């Protein structure tokens, strides 16, 4: 069976990040042609974390991180984006998804990072949803949460 690889690049709004992702995608397609490669950007991943469920998906392809056999986080400014890379790395480590490069040591201390740690340890906390795309966040929140709910952007 061909390996399913998710390549996560930097921001979808940054020309240098877009070019870097395209170049690395082309390199992977040429060097590992038997694999199925999906490319996305770090700001195109949506996070839902509750005490009983964690879902991380690329809203462009609609695929969950758990749909992949390997995840590669790569981008010229990824150290600046380490908060988002931490989220992906942390969930990969919790769900045993092999990670090419691991950012889980870059704990950012955000509400999303706290929710991940609380979920791992079985603590009770309000369900948390995060997306850098406000319109996607509102759309997903309306589909997932029942009224009333609090949405902070």
What's the predicted TM-score (pTM) here? 0.86
How far apart are the C-alpha atoms of 57 and 66, rounded to whole Å? Answer: 8
Residues 113-139 have pLDDT tens digits of 999 999 999 999 888 888 888 888 888
Range name among 28-32, 58-62, 149-153 with the lowest pLDDT average: 149-153
**What is the sign of the dihedral through the CA atoms of 81, 47, 62 and 146?**
negative
User: Strand 36-41 relative to strand 45-49: parallel, antiparallel, unpaired?
Assistant: unpaired
């Amino acid at each position: 069976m061909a390996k399913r690889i998710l390549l996560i690049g930097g921001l979808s709004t940054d020309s240098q990040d877009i070019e870097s992702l395209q170049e690395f995608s082309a390199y992977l397609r040429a060097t590992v042609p038997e694999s199925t490669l999906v490319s996305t950007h770090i700001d195109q991943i949506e996070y839902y974390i509750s005490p009983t469920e964690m879902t991380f998906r690329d809203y462009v392809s609609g695929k969950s991180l758990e749909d992949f056999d390997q995840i590669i986080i790569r981008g010229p400014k990824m150290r600046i984006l380490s908060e988002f890379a931490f989220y992906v790395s942390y969930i990969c480590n919790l769900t045993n998804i092999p990670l090419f490069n691991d950012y889980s040591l870059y704990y950012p201390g955000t509400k999303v990072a706290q929710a991940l740690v609380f979920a791992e340890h079985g603590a009770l906390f309000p369900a948390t949803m995060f997306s850098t795309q406000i319109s996607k966040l509102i759309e997903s929140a309306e589909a997932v949460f029942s009224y009333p709910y609090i949405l902070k952007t």
